[in-house]
Amino acid sequence: MTSSEKFLIVGPASQLLGVKIANGLGIPCINTEFKTFPDGENYLRLNIEDETVLEDKEIIIVQSTGPSTTRDQNARIFELFMMIDAVKRIGVSKIIAIIPYMAYARQDKIFRPGESEFAKVILRIINSMEIDELYVVDIHAPNTLEELTCKAVNIDSMKLLADYIKSLGATDIVVISPDKGALKRSKAFAKHFGEDVPVDVFEKKRDVKTGEITMSGQLSLKNKDVVIADDIIATGGTMASAIKIAKENGAKKVYATATHALMLENAKYRILKAGADEIIGTDSIDNEISKVSLATIIIDYLQ
Ligand code: R5P
């Protein structure tokens, strides 16, 4: 192992992104060993034989906390805690946690009586582990970061996503927000395509009991390339509804884009069936939709 002053720990959920960031920073990276015990408990160890190499060093941990086919988000969060705890015990000089996708971020407020604001609980636990800096990307509710006493940064991936869509040759673009909550973000997103790119919004209603979505909108999208932008694609229901309306309103091409494309259940099928020409996500989630890498923008923040 080299005598670097900085090391990057590549979390099990962010192998692609973690290695890219380490390579971009020119620092060594350390992998982990992880498994689930027969009783369901998680296990993780840093893949090192000599702990002294990390003593008094600056440590960057990269771990998204989205679900995948092999692990759920709870396992990913526990793995994150284990990595933080391991380096704390070893005695490092600084801990920087990069959590591109923050699980539970959508549980940021009370929708029905008796609920928990669990997004805040997760952040409070991370805060109690006394890390030095936290970086997330397009977190669902940025105000939840107020739970942290350390430096906390919400990185904006919009320029990277817009550059990718432009590289596909999209012209005469209209940006659509699938709900009012995402409108501010969509307006900022549209600016990356040009000063006068129009932004519109569909009316989305979600039944808080059943989770069922209804969406409506009347826009003139004839011969337009429509970019529908959201922070998360989970089951694809929101995106598919928006695409369907965009197509009904005359859209020529539809680009379905989200920072965190979890692609759960049959999301891919629903979105493509609704008429999307392309689905675009970032490597905050390591899957076949992650066409845009967050590495460069994260590196910019770390240098
Ligand atoms: C909700 O507020 C989020 O911004 C997304 O619109 C939502 O999480 C997408 O979920 P799904 O893909 O299951 O409709």
**Would 50 be classed as within a structural domain?**
yes
Tell me if 11 sits within 8 A of 79, measured CB to CB. yes
Parent domain of 75: 6-156+293-302
Q: How far is the CA of 209 from the centre of ligand 1 (A)?
A: 15
What pLDDT is stored for residue 49 in this prediction? Answer: 97
**Would 138 be classed as within a structural domain?**
yes
Say how many C-beta atoms besides its own lie within 10 A of residue 2's C-beta. Answer: 8
The residue count of the chain comes to: 303
CATH at 33:
3.40.50.2020
**Would 134 be classed as within a structural domain?**
yes
Query: Do 114 and 22 have their domain in common?
Result: yes
**Would 1 be classed as within a structural domain?**
no
Residues whose CB is less than 8 angstroms from the CB of residue 220 and which lie 6 or more positions away in sequence, other chains included: 249, 250
**Would 288 be classed as within a structural domain?**
no
- The two most distant CA atoms of the chain are separated, in Å, by 63
Mean pLDDT, contiguous 10-residue spans, the chain (303 residues): 85 97 98 97 98 98 95 97 98 98 98 97 98 98 97 97 96 92 90 93 84 80 94 96 94 97 97 98 96 98 96
DSSP per position, 66-114? ---SS--HHHHHHHHHHHHHHHHHHT-SEEEEEESS-TTTT--S-SSTT
- To the query of whether residue 291 is one of the catalytic residues in this protein, the response is no
Q: How many distinct structural domains can be found in the chain?
A: 2
Q: Confirm or reject: Cβ of 232 under 6 Å from ligand 1.
A: yes
Q: How far is the CA of 285 from the centre of ligand 1 (A)?
A: 15
Q: Whose CA is nearest to atom 3 of ligand 1?
A: 232
Q: How far is CA 303 from the centre of its chain?
A: 21
Query: Do 194 and 131 have their domain in common?
Result: no
Residues whose CB is less than 8 angstroms from the CB of residue 132 and which lie 6 or more positions away in sequence, other chains included: 94, 95, 96, 150, 151
Query: Do 185 and 72 have their domain in common?
Result: no
Query: Do 264 and 206 have their domain in common?
Result: yes
Query: Do 101 and 247 have their domain in common?
Result: no
What pLDDT is stored for residue 1 in this prediction? Answer: 53
Query: Do 37 and 69 have their domain in common?
Result: yes
Q: Confirm or reject: Cβ of 15 under 6 Å from ligand 1.
A: no
Catalytic site residue from 20, 57, 120, 204: 204
